[in-house]
Amino acid sequence: MHLTIPSTRSVRPIGGQLTAVPRDQQDVGVDRGELEREMARIIDAVEVAGAPIRVLGSIGVAIHCAASRSLIPSFERTYADIDFAAYGRDARKVSATMVALGYLEDRVVAINSEGRRAIFDKPGARIHLDVFYDELEFCHRIPLAGRLEADRPTIPLAELLVSKLQIVKVNEKDVIDTALLLLDHDLGVGDADVIDVGRIAQLCADDWGLWRTLTMNLEKVRAIAGAYPQLLPDQRACVVYATAALKGAIDQQPKPLSWRMRDRVGDRRQWWTDVDEAR
């Protein structure tokens, strides 16, 4: 299945401010270019040590959206950290490489997370790193087994998009990142610079809670991005079409009995894990 989305490869910079946070309350952050250079240095060093490591989060979105990244300055985004994903089997290699690069690991976090997450900070550099092992664990768990080799330097587009849409209390940064991904990439099959619809649909069929949050947020993105006066008409149309097409594909995916049983309970029981909203 390949869903063709109206072309947006020639997107133009737009004006205006999308963030709802007053300027005097915004984090100063770190220059995106500085973070991207540090990200590349880390990925190269960890791979020399024999382990794949991939970036996610807003930096990952900016890197993967070569055309639409020209819109980012208009959104007045700030960047404070870099999020990575790696395999748990490589945790020692990752930790040793980070230390060699001048980072300090928060051992308390590593112990409390039972090895599923690590945090590193570089003294005096204002750079903070999160490393997720084997899965992305936010409001929902997104498995990464066998997926890190599918793309570089980011995690695959399907997981990158899901990581933005699986936040229950989705904020404007998540909406912006989702819009950028949908503006710059077709919905299709596989990981070759397209968003793998089948992968996302299967993840939602495997987890009712993820389905509930993701489809709920697709509706929010369609409503919010579709009304952005700062976006050009064809850009708004692209996002509206893509969110509807993706939701339709997710809904069409066959659901197992366990999913249908959970669906009967619905919203009467909390379906997500509460997480720190600062991302």
Separation of alpha carbons 59 and 219, rounded Å? 24
* CA dihedral for 252, 256, 261, 267, sign (positive or negative): negative
Which segments of 153-193 does DSSP mark as H helices, in order?
Answer: 157-165, 172-184
**Token pair of 227 as six digits:** 């009304």
Q: How far is CA 265 from CA 221, 258, 260, in A?
A: 26, 11, 9
Candidate from 8-22, 136-150, 222-236 with smallest mean pLDDT: 8-22
Tens-digit pLDDT profile for residues 11-58 = 333 333 333 333 333 445 677 788 999 999 999 999 999 999 999 999
Tens-digit pLDDT profile for residues 51-71 = 999 999 999 999 999 887 777
Pick the CATH number of 23-268 from 3.30.70.20, 3.10.310.30, 3.30.460.40, 3.30.420.10: 3.30.460.40
- Residues 6 or more apart in contact with residue 35 via CB below 8 angstroms: 59, 79, 82, 127
At residue 269, the pLDDT reads 97
**Buried/exposed 156-185: b ≥16 CB within 10 Å, e otherwise:** bbbbbbbbbbbbbebeebbbbbbbbbbbbb
Binned at pLDDT 50, 70 and 90, residue 144 comes out as very high
Q: Which of 107-111, 230-234, 275-279 has the highest mean pLDDT?
A: 230-234
pLDDT at 90 over 70: yes
- The C-alpha angle 249, 231, 173, rounded to 5 degrees, equals 70
For the entire predicted model, the pTM comes to: 0.86
| 3-class DSSP assignment, residue 219 | helix
Amino acid at 159: E
Residue-range domain boundaries for the chain: 23-268
In whole numbers, what is the pLDDT of the chain averaged over residues?
A: 86
pLDDT at 225 over 90: no
Candidate from 32-36, 78-82, 168-172, 234-238 with smallest mean pLDDT: 78-82
- CB neighbourhood size of 221 (10 A): 26
| 3-class DSSP assignment, residue 7 | coil
